[in-house]
Amino acid sequence: MTKLRLHDRSNVLGEVEPALSASLVRCFGNHPAPSEADRQRATKGLMDLRDQQRWLACGCRPADIDPPPLMAPRLREGQIHIWRHGATPHADTCPFWVEVLESERAATEGVDGVMKPWQGRWLLLNQVAQDISQSAPAAPSQAPRTPSSNVPAIARLLFTALTDVGYTTVLPSDVITRKGHNALSKSKNAYAGLDVLLDQPVAPGLKLRDVGCTFLPGLPKLLQNMPAIASRFPAGTRPQGLFVGIVHEIAKVSPNETQLVWRGTSEDRVAVVNVRGAVKRPGYTKGNAGPFWVIAQIAQPRGEKAFSLVNAYAHPCLSKSVLLAVDSGLERETAENLLSLMTYWAKPDSLNVEVQLQTPLFPEVLADGTSCHPDFVLWLPGGKRLIVETMGLDKDPDYLASKAITHPRMKSLPGVVGLVEHHPNDDPNQLRKVLTAAVGRVVRSS
């Protein structure tokens, strides 16, 4: 049985009781099969460790290896889980072991280890027996966001597509804001950017519009048509497709199936499509409520003739109307505040300046080779920019330590004139005053 020990980041302090170790294996190991009692025991145990600022040291490697394989309890939007630190990997026989393949790491991150926009083929499924796209393994990171090495290739492809078609930027002229209400898009068709994706070549003689779908209610028809389309795929290419679009809810219906739910303006307009297995999401994004940007792979599961969704990744977006990609539910609050401020600053009787909001999905690399990943960037005249960071876990010591590393990096990025922290439940008027003063200084100096 795997032995887990308490660790204080420098030394082993003692043994974890066997019952808790067994529950952690069943909840977070490579083959999870927890009971309700396991979930309760693991949750309480990890919360206690987090309160005590303790980590876990796995006993799967020889005692003379320093440091041992380490894992930390992490809390993301009310959900506790285990974070594997990869300075020393687990033994390959350990239930917490994750395979590290350099080819997979390079495919996801790029040669310098920093996640880059996707430049490869869009059809990621290579083997008939494989129903998941290539993904990179867990690795150590001091960043509070999901590290690039934990982002599956299918997510990186989604990030690239959303960036290319403009779903990571908003101008004040794009939205309507009213006090006490969420921002609304001025565009009659906020989803028009997805039409650009449909012309993306995905295989010789095939575009995404041939094997893809951007509207969940239309997905069942595509699944029915896929067997006839399969003959158009070149030899050696597995017949497959992609869904890229918005869903409003994600619901687990069984250990092996997850539902994607789309809801129209009337109660009777509902579309539901099932995904085989789980829908991957950022580690800090929990719950079923969306909306979400979703990318899902279409293929024939092994031994079946019908096509279905076999793998999916979901990423939060701001709302059904404003499809700005954000990184978590917590960031929705920050984004709404920033959009309201941007429309205020654009008024002639205010600052009379147009500020663009960006939510970058890829990190930036500094001159010294380090990287950072701002939550929000406010682009001002003359290429100046303000960074706004959502501080959602300001009682987590690991989170605060990582912010202490990444915030100075962000301040040293080209054109950055300041960094403002937004803590959930902060007084909105205080954020308004701080940011308005900062933007005003830039406008007056231009």
pLDDT at 389: 94
Is there a single domain that holds both residue 214 and residue 333? no
Is there a single domain that holds both residue 341 and residue 438? yes
- 3 state DSSP class of 309: strand
pLDDT at 275: 94
Closest CA to 320 of 159, 185, 219: 185
Each residue's pLDDT tens digit, 295-347:
999 999 877 889 999 989 999 999 999 999 998 888 999 999 999 999 999 99
Is there a single domain that holds both residue 383 and residue 312? no
Is there a single domain that holds both residue 220 and residue 312? yes
Per the structure, the complete domain to which residue 58 belongs is given by: 4-85
Is there a single domain that holds both residue 198 and residue 311? yes
- Boundary-marking domain end, from 316, 343, 361: 316
Q: How far apart are CA 226 and CA 260, in angstroms?
A: 19
- Assess if residue 344 is contained within a domain: yes
Q: How far apart are CA 166 and CA 168, in angstroms?
A: 5
Q: pLDDT tens, position by position, for the chain (446 residues)?
A: 678 999 876 788 889 999 999 999 999 888 888 899 998 999 999 988 877 878 899 989 888 887 788 888 876 535 677 877 656 788 888 888 865 444 444 444 554 568 888 888 899 886 443 344 444 333 333 333 334 445 788 999 999 999 998 999 999 999 999 988 999 999 878 888 888 899 898 888 899 999 999 999 999 999 999 999 999 998 888 999 999 999 999 998 887 889 999 998 887 899 999 998 778 887 555 555 789 999 999 999 877 889 999 989 999 999 999 999 998 888 999 999 999 999 999 999 999 999 999 999 999 999 888 899 999 999 998 899 999 999 877 667 777 778 888 999 999 999 999 999 998 788 888 889 999 999 999 988 87
Number of structural domains in the chain: 3
Q: Is the CB of residue 79 less than 8 Å from the CB of residue 86?
A: no
- Assess if residue 415 is contained within a domain: yes
Q: How far apart are CA 139 and CA 8, in angstroms?
A: 20
- Assess if residue 122 is contained within a domain: no
Is there a single domain that holds both residue 304 and residue 356? no
Is there a single domain that holds both residue 254 and residue 354? no
DSSP structure class, residue 171: -
Is there a single domain that holds both residue 193 and residue 312? yes
Residue 65 CB-half CA count within 13 A: 14
Residue 13 amino acid letter:
L
pLDDT at 108: 45
- Boundary-marking domain end, from 85, 117, 141: 85
- Assess if residue 159 is contained within a domain: no
pLDDT at 231: 92
Is there a single domain that holds both residue 308 and residue 351? no
- 3 state DSSP class of 366: coil
DSSP code string of 373-416: --SEEEE-GGG-EEEEEE-TTTT-HHHHHHHHHHHHHHHTSTTE
- Assess if residue 96 is contained within a domain: no
- Assess if residue 45 is contained within a domain: yes
Is there a single domain that holds both residue 203 and residue 312? yes
- Assess if residue 143 is contained within a domain: no
pLDDT at 285: 53
Is there a single domain that holds both residue 347 and residue 297? no
- Assess if residue 65 is contained within a domain: yes
Total number of residues shown for the chain:
446
- Boundary-marking domain end, from 316, 348, 381: 316
pLDDT at 55: 86
Q: How far apart are CA 353 and CA 347, in angstroms?
A: 8
Q: How far apart are CA 102 and CA 322, in angstroms?
A: 38
Is there a single domain that holds both residue 357 and residue 439? yes
Residue 198 CB-half CA count within 13 A: 12
Residue 290 tokens read as 């969306």
- Residues 6 or more apart in contact with residue 182 via CB below 8 angstroms: 319, 321, 322, 336
